[in-house]
Amino acid sequence: MASVVALVGNPQPGSRTRRIAESVAAALAERSGAGVADTVELADIADELFRYPSAVVDAARDRVLAADVVIVASPTYKATYTGLLKAFLDRFDAGALHAVAAVPILTIGSPAHALAVEVSLRPLLVELGASVPTRGIAFPASQVDQRDEIVAAWADAEWPRLRPFL
C-alpha cells in the first residue's frame, strides 16, 4: 500500500503548520486510498539533530525515505524554511529522495512571502532527488481554520499530477 507522511519543521510542536500538513496528507490519502504514516514532528527530536549518530533521527529519516509522498512543511522564517528543517534534511545525501514525491508547504504571515515555497524549498527538495510534481503551497497562517476547504481545492487541482505516485 502506498503511504503519505507529513514532515513538519516548525520548532513549536502541534503548530498550525502541522495541522495544515496533516490536512494535505489526509486529502491525498482520501483520493488515493494510501495510508497516512505518523507525522514526523521535528520539534520532538530537535535535541537529537546534531548528534551523530542518532538512532532517533535515523528512524525519522527512514520514515521519510519509506513514504511514497512526503508533505514537507515549515513556517516561513526570513523568507525561507526553518533551520530545524534544514538540519534534518542535511541528514540526506544528494539524490536520496529519488523514490519520493514531495509537496512543499510554507505557512506564511504575509503575501510578500508567497514565492518562498517555490524559490527556496522546492530547489532543496529537488537537490535531494525528490520529484516535486505540483505547485507548492504558500498557506496563509491566518487561514488555518479554513484549511480543509483550501486544501481540498488545492488537492482537486493538483491530484492529476500526484496520482501516479500513489
User: Does residue 79 surpass a pLDDT of 90?
Assistant: no
From the list 74, 67, 31, the residue with the least C-alpha distance to 161 is: 31
Domain count of the chain? 1
Q: What is the pLDDT of residue 7?
A: 98
164 is a domain residue = no
User: Does residue 77 surpass a pLDDT of 90?
Assistant: no
Strand-pairing partners, residue 103, are 71
163 is a domain residue = no
Question: Is the whole-model pTM more than 0.85?
Answer: yes
The cell for 99 is 523514490
131 is a domain residue = yes
User: Does residue 1 surpass a pLDDT of 90?
Assistant: no
- Kindly state the percentage of the chain with pLDDT values over 70: 100
The cell for 29 is 490519502
Q: What φ, ψ does residue 93 adopt, rounded to 5°?
A: -70, 155
From the list 96, 73, 7, the residue with the least C-alpha distance to 45 is: 7
87 is a domain residue = yes
CATH number, residue 17: 3.40.50.360
40 is a domain residue = yes
From the list 116, 10, 124, the residue with the least C-alpha distance to 73 is: 10
39 is a domain residue = yes
165 is a domain residue = no
β 137-140/35-36 pair status: unpaired
166 is a domain residue = no
pLDDT digits (tens, 9 = 90+) for 90-149: 999 999 999 999 999 999 999 889 999 999 999 999 999 999 999 999 999 999 999 999
Residue 48's domain spans which residues? 3-158
